[in-house]
């Protein structure tokens, strides 16, 4: 089964300082048919204006991933973390028993483009934690880079769920194949550019859901940055 979700089918909210597209039900956007895929609950495609941002607010019992595509994001949280997340950086907070944090675009003139991703954890009320890693363009160029996974690894962000997140940047002539284990669900999101996925053209903001498929083939006629989620359909 392959299902394509076009970028224009997403929810949309424009608050002036924030222009956000919601792949799944979020805030004032609600669609009972878009409550997530397996443990993947949120993908928000956010553009934050210069000096704009989210004031301090709470979260709990969620794996929250910030993937910066361009610009930067200033982060502070109740765990004592303070950092500037740059393009190419991936940040994760395990909210667990509860955290509070703020996020702002520190630039005076440059917007920030990011994806905020929420994954439901397989255990509630864990101790909150924070991780941040930097991945260069070369790290992702022409192959799928494992960014987050349930197995501890020095180069990979830990997820408290049976889910894996990959990132790639494809340029002209690149072709990637991925073979999921039987029974897994794949969710693919085109972050930027144009891609060809299993012979089907996709553009920025488009998504593809694959279940009971034996392989996935990615290519592009120009350049594209893509995220791929390998998910357990029987997530706890």
- Residue-by-residue pLDDT tens, the chain, 236 positions: 999 999 999 999 999 999 999 999 999 999 999 999 999 999 999 999 999 988 888 999 999 999 999 999 998 889 988 889 999 999 999 999 999 989 999 999 999 999 999 999 999 999 999 999 999 999 999 999 999 999 988 889 999 999 999 999 999 989 999 999 999 999 999 999 999 999 999 999 999 999 999 999 999 989 999 999 999 998 75
Report DSSP letters for 31-93, one per residue.
-TT-S-BTTEEEEEEEEE-TT-EEEEEEE-S-EEEEEEEESEEEEEETTS-EEEEETTEEEEE
H/E element, 175: strand 175-178
Tell me, rounded to whole angstroms, the distance of Cα 195 from its chain centroid. 17
Could you tell me where the DSSP H helices lie in 97-234?
Answer: 137-140
Q: What gap in Å lies between CA 102 and CA 105, rounded to an integer?
A: 10
Q: Compute the residue count for the chain.
A: 236
Instruction: Look up residue 37 and give its two tokens.
Output: 């895929």
Mention every residue, 6+ apart, whose C-beta is less than 8 A from residue 162.
39, 122, 150, 231, 232, 235
Q: State pTM to two decimals.
A: 0.96
**Contact present, 71 and 109 (Cβ < 8 Å):** no
Q: What gap in Å lies between CA 100 and CA 158, rounded to an integer?
A: 20
Closest of 64, 67, 14 to residue 39, by C-alpha: 64
Q: Which residues pair with 84 in a beta bridge?
A: 74
Q: What gap in Å lies between CA 74 and CA 76, rounded to an integer?
A: 7
Structural domain spans, the chain: 2-231
3-class DSSP state of 81: coil
pLDDT tens figures, 112-153:
999 999 999 999 999 999 999 999 999 999 999 999 999 988
What pLDDT does residue 153 have?
86
**Contact present, 198 and 166 (Cβ < 8 Å):** no
Could you tell me where the DSSP H helices lie in 13-93?
Answer: none
- Please say whether the structural domain 2-231 has been given the CATH code 3.30.565.10: no
What pLDDT does residue 236 have?
54
Q: What gap in Å lies between CA 81 and CA 95, rounded to an integer?
A: 13
């Amino acid at each position: 089964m392959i299902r394509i979700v076009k970028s224009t089918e997403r929810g949309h909210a424009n608050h002036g300082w924030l222009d956000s597209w919601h792949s799944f039900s979020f805030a004032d956007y609600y669609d009972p048919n878009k409550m997530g895929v397996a443990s993947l609950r949120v993908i928000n495609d956010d553009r934050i204006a210069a000096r704009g941002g989210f004031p301090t607010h709470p979260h709990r019992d969620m794996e929250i991933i910030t993937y910066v595509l361009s610009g930067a994001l200033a982060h502070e949280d109740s765990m004592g973390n303070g950092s500037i997340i740059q393009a190419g950086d991936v940040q994760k907070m395990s909210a667990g028993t509860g955290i509070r944090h703020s996020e702002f675009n520190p630039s005076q003139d440059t917007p920030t483009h990011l994806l905020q991703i929420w994954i439901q954890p397989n255990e509630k009320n864990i101790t909150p934690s924070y991780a941040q890693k930097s991945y260069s363009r070369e790290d992702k160029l022409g192959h799928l880079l494992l960014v987050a996974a349930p197995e501890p690894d020095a180069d990979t962000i830990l997820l408290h769920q049976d889910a894996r997140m990959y990132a790639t940047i494809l340029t002209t002539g690149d072709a990637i194949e991925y073979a999921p284990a039987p029974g897994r669900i794949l969710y693919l999101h085109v972050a930027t550019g144009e891609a060809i996925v299993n012979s089907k053209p996709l553009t920025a903001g488009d998504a593809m859901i694959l279940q009971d498929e034996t392989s996935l083939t990615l290519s592009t006629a120009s350049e594209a940055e893509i995220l791929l989620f390998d998910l357990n359909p029987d997530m706890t």
